[in-house]
Amino acid sequence: MTGMKPRRSVLYMPGANERALEKAKTLPADALILDLEDAVAPDAKDAARERVCGALGDYGSREVAIRVNGLETEWHEADLRAAAQAGPAAVVVPKVNSARDVHAIERALELRGAPQETKIWAMLETPVAMLHAEEIATASERLTVLVMGTNDLAKELHAELVPGRAPLLGGLSLCLLVARATGKVILDGVYNDVKDVAGFEAECLQGKQFGFDGKTLIHPGQIEPCNRVFAPSAEEIDQARRVIAAFEEATAAGRGVATVDGKMIENLHVGNAQRLLALAEAIEA
Ligand SMILES: CC(C)(COP(=O)(O)OP(=O)(O)OC[C@H]1O[C@@H](n2cnc3c(N)ncnc32)[C@H](O)[C@@H]1OP(=O)(O)O)[C@@H](O)C(=O)NCCC(=O)NCCSC(=O)C[C@H](O)C(=O)O
Ligand SMILES: [Mg+2]
């Protein structure tokens, strides 16, 4: 678990919005996605591409990704060429529907000389992607992160975005199963109402309880609550330390099981406790 990267809060910024790109330098999001897709109007695509690719060096040690336009669009080719040359931490690809799509991106990045450090983050946001999630996740070693696109998914499903997200839970669960089965990081979708703090926190908590590694965001005001919810709390850290200590003690005494606060602890609980402590350390660092 060394080298674990916190990705509690991953903020989208419209690539055409100079003010937002500037402001993000001082924002405490774990990672940033400079967007060339939905947040940029067609007339502004070329200027946004140039601005975003030129801005990459300005965000310190944080992961900075570029979201390109989708494979079927007229801007995709130019976006990918520019991103490959700029060498962001990742290229975020919207509306990935198959392993073939991932292979096409991988080939294009290699042909255009993208550094190996530039990873692929695939957005899962269509019904077809839900059905192909496993083949997408396993299509390339370069693909390290799955990103839920819950607005597009709701649109494609003809579903409503309601508190608790009942219409989306099947897709969210499926993608989480795939992420965990294939060892990929997975980020939850965005919450559109930037003024609804309580609703946003409730959705962060739901995402954390599901097992998401973090959440994608659209506004600076969402960063602090998101970081808080997705970080291990002081109680969770204390509990994890006690689980590890109790299990070590049991093992030393020749037992394979222990109890902490009256609850059974086995080897499998130790793995989770170690992961939680590694995340806490990575956040601290
Ligand atoms: C949602 C917004 C349009 C709201 O804009 P606005 O009302 O102007 O916000 P504020 O006035 O409250 O802004 C306050 C200051 O914060 C800066 N700001 C705002 N948003 C960002 C941001 N995302 N990153 C960095 N900085 C930001 C403003 O410039 C103000 O700064 P200052 O002047 O110094 O006070 C707006 O927040 C916005 O455009 N958000 C991002 C939208 C976006 O990126 N959308 C695309 C990604 S989401 C998506 O595509 C979903 C997915 O694909 C799916 O299918 O679900
Ligand atoms: Mg989308």
Nearest CA to ligand 1 atom 25: 20
Confirm if 280 and 4 have CB atoms less than 8 A apart. Answer: no
Predicted local confidence at residue 2, as pLDDT: 62
Q: What is the pLDDT of residue 1?
A: 66
Residue 120 β-bridge partners:
91, 143
The answer to whether 67 is a known ligand-binding residue is yes
Q: How far apart are CA 173 and CA 184, in angstroms?
A: 14
Q: Enter the ipTM.
A: 0.98
Three-state secondary-structure class, residue 6? coil
Ligand 1 atom having least distance to the Cα of 150? 56
Q: Nearest 5 degrees, angle CA 233-CA 29-CA 177?
A: 65
Q: Would you say the CB of residue 19 lies under 6 angstroms from ligand 1?
A: yes
Residue nearest to atom 9 of ligand 1 (CA): 219
Predicted local distance difference test score (pLDDT) of residue 31: 97
Segments in 183-218 forming alpha helices (H):
197-210
Rounded Cα gap, residues 185 and 6, in angstroms: 10
Considering every ligand atom shown, identify the ligand nearest to the alpha carbon of residue 95 and give its number: 2
**In terms of C-beta density within 10 A (0-12 exposed, 13-18 middle, 19 or more buried), how is residue 86 classed?**
buried
Q: Which residues of the chain have pLDDT under 50?
A: none
Q: Which ligand is nearest to the CA of 218?
A: 1
Total-model pTM:
0.95
CA separation for the pair 171, 284 (Å, rounded): 33
User: Which domains are seen in the chain, by residue range?
Assistant: 9-230 (3.20.20.60), 234-284 (no CATH)
Could you tell which of 32, 172, 218 is best to mutate to test the pocket of ligand 1, judged by most ligand atoms within 8 Å of the CB? 218
Residue pLDDT, tens place only, 205-228: 999 999 999 999 999 999 999 999
Report d(CA 142, CA 139) in Å as an integer: 9
Is 38 close to ligand 1, i.e. is its CB under 6 Å away? Answer: yes
**Ion ligand 2 — residues with CB < 5 Å:** 125, 149, 152
